Amino acid sequence: MPELPEVETVRRGLTPAMEGAVIARADVNRPDLRWPFPPGMADRLTGARVERLRRRSKYILADLDSGETLLVHLGMSGRMTVSGDPLGQFVHDHPAAEKHDHVVLHMENGARVTFNDPRRFGAMDLMDTATADQHKLLAVLGPEPLGNDFHEAHLIDAFQGKNTPVKSALLDQRIVAGLGNIYVCEALFRCGISPTRKAGRIATQRVAALVPVIRQVLAEAIEAGGSSLRDFRQADGELGYFQHRFDVYGREGETCRATGCGASIARIVQSGRSSFYCKTCQT
């Protein structure tokens, strides 16, 4: 499932074609994805101007001049791609329609934004912009890891007395929003913290050190266009490249990249997800 860097990469790719542009026509080709679409979604989108395109956690939010905000979640296999952009940001002509093109936004500027989702785990919803932060999917979220509210004191307080493994704590969207399996594994490796260590038993100095490392890992991944493992594509259809820089994720049995280590990367399953780490470097 796309994590924060992938979603941010898509948002940045959509911005030149969507922000400030009018949706001339919205085609909604099925009644639902993971959940039913809101009533009259096509009509509510048609004619609206996209005033701002932003991201909250793993959600893309398009604020419209109608006073509503379109919420988009890519799910497991969802893609939002742009074709025919008159600003010259994209080189692809409009492709032929595909079976899983569930929502298509025809922009007045000539661009076409297509939401394709073969597995249909994605989601879209419309909500009042003024109360968007109260939406059931957004109200429970913790601070953005790249925002000012995510800092050392917050993470130390969130870990206080917590008996769950640090890996699980960092995946808890109430503690920090947008982190997923890949980038938690990578951040824990850089900090030398085992994913099995109980969050409440990590020294405060080590917890504090996680904050800048998490920011750094995410920033590097965004710069690389995210990570493409199976389905993820950027808005122009290209792959992300951060997967070529993984230190531990997906490298079970391979040699640790830490200078002088030589140990093999291990994999364990925690809460149904694979954790990759170096037993020598991470304690």
Q: How many Å apart are CA 51 and CA 267, to the nearest integer?
A: 45
Q: How many Å apart are CA 132 and CA 178, to the nearest integer?
A: 17
Overall size of the chain counted in residues: 283
Catalytic residues: 2-3, 58, 273
Three-state DSSP at 121 gives: coil
Three-state DSSP at 54 gives: strand
Indicate the residue type of 52: R
- Single out the residue of 215, 220, 219, 212 nearest to residue 152, CA to CA: 212
Q: How many Å apart are CA 50 and CA 21, to the nearest integer?
A: 6
**DSSP letter for each residue of 9-33:** HHHHHHHHHHTT-BEEEEEE-SSBS
Indicate the residue type of 239: L
- In 30-146, DSSP assigns E strands to 50-56, 59-64, 68-73, 79-83, 101-107, 112-116, 123-128
